[in-house]
Chains A and B, each alone.
Chain A
Amino acid sequence: MTRTGTLAPVTRGQTESSSIEALYRAHGARLVRIARMFVDDRSAAEDLVQEAFIRFHRSRDRLRNPNAAAGYLRSTVLNLARDHNRRGLVSLRHLDAHPVGSMGPDPHDAAILDEEQQTLLEAVGGLALRQRDCVVLRYYLELSYHEIATTLGISANSVKTHLKRGMAALREQMEEQR
């Protein structure tokens, strides 16, 4: 996978199964990890990634630029994660168990994070949705402003604004913690 997360174009001759496989091998694990940052547990994160691949498969013919596959998958995972957390309207039981926007790792994952990192990730989870998306895409996937803008369907200037505000909020929260 390239630093920007793009994928070499999938040619017409490739079978659908192999194109899914190629996409998964290039981006699957990172997509699960992104999803994991936004939802409560790993199996839910994997379900979201599975759903994102199904949606990609349905819309693959409408995708004008084959290089946009990774961006499409990323933005689908982010949208699905947002819907998953909003599902309080569908599943209140789930909502009661996990506050919306919780970014705290599950007990297994917590073992690999030290206390300060956990606090920082929880602070990221508490950011406004757009700010949180921008921070994760920028500092986890190392995407450029333009790539983040394409993924989220907003302008590059908005990305800069969200990042600036998000980082300011994080700085403030981390200082409060001390």
Chain B
Amino acid sequence: MTMLENRLRDAFARYEEVQVTPDLLERIEGAVEADERRRTALRRIMAAAALAAVIAIGSTLWILQGGVEMDWWILELITTVVLFAIAFFLGPFIRKYGKNYVADVFRANPRTGKSFIVLTDVAYYLIFFAYILLTSRFEQATAWGIFGDVTAQQVQHEAARVGGILAIIGVLHGLNLVVLPIVGRLFTLNLRLDQELLKERDRD
């Protein structure tokens, strides 16, 4: 064993003297129970919301149609709701896993990183909402049929709407992943140049 290894062990061993707050176990057990309660409540709310949505859609169809066949506008509306749901789910999901990546890229200038995350969020929601507005239909397309009910062509169109936004966001984030390290590098260089200029001014 080398002298450095011995020194390290001695230095780390002194941490054994660092005391832990006596009520930590109590806090942990309380936090675990609270988390469990919160998650159970959330699961119940989500299950109730899903059930309510199914009942609402089923009842609406039954009342308006006398069966489960749909008018074209109902599928259009459901697809729009699905697009909004994707937008609200994907945004936080991407932010959660992208935050550490951005932190690494902008570790030299975290303020820029923070702004980057906020601006990316804005761009993300703008793209999503613009896409939903641009692809929404307010009257039945002639290619879908003439009786006003859902046809295979409309189902294909709605599937393409959902697939389209996923493809757009996927490509944009793919580009972002590739380009971001270069942008981060440029920002770091700018920062260094600024610091060097300041040093030169101080010397003058």
Interface residue ranges, A against B (CB under 8 Å): 16-17, 20-21, 24-25, 28-29, 32-33, 36-37, 42-43, 46, 49-50, 53-54, 57-58, 83, 86, 88-90, 92, 95, 100, 109, 112-113, 116-117, 120-121, 124, 135-136, 139-140, 167, 170-171, 174
Whether B20 lies near A58 (C-beta < 8 A) is: no
The interface centre, meaning the residue of A36, A43, A113, A136 with most chain B CB atoms within 10 A of its CB, is A113
Whether B111 lies near A92 (C-beta < 8 A) is: yes
Interface check B203, CB cutoff 8 A: no
Closest to A57 in B: B32
- Contacts across chains A and B counted by CB atoms under 8 Å: 110
Complex Cα gap A33–B18 (Å)? 7
Please name all residues of chain A whose beta carbon is closer than 8 Å to the beta carbon of B117 when the two chains form the complex: 89
- How many interface residues does B have (CB within 8 Å)? 39
Complex Cα gap A162–B176 (Å)? 30
Contact of A28 among B8, B24, B106, B113 (CB under 8 A): B24
- A19: min CB distance to chain B, Å: 10
- A52: min CB distance to chain B, Å: 9
Whether A46 lies near B20 (C-beta < 8 A) is: yes
Whether B18 lies near A112 (C-beta < 8 A) is: yes
Give chain B's interface secondary structure class: helix
Interface check B185, CB cutoff 8 A: no
Interface check B9, CB cutoff 8 A: yes
Contact of B110 among A36, A89, A120, A136 (CB under 8 A): A89
Complex Cα gap A73–B18 (Å)? 20
Please name all residues of chain A whose beta carbon is closer than 8 Å to the beta carbon of B24 when the two chains form the complex: 24, 28, 32, 46, 49-50
Please name all residues of chain A whose beta carbon is closer than 8 Å to the beta carbon of B36 when the two chains form the complex: 57
Whether A58 lies near B39 (C-beta < 8 A) is: yes
Give chain A's interface secondary structure class: helix
Closest to B16 in A: A33
Given contacts A42-B18, A120-B11, A139-B8, contact A21 B29 (CB under 8 A): yes
Given contacts A24-B25, A135-B8, A139-B8, contact A54 B31 (CB under 8 A): yes
List residues 53-105 of chain B with CB under 8 A from any CB of chain A. Answer: 99-100, 102-104
Interface check B7, CB cutoff 8 A: yes
Complex Cα gap A170–B11 (Å)? 13
Closest to A36 in B: B18
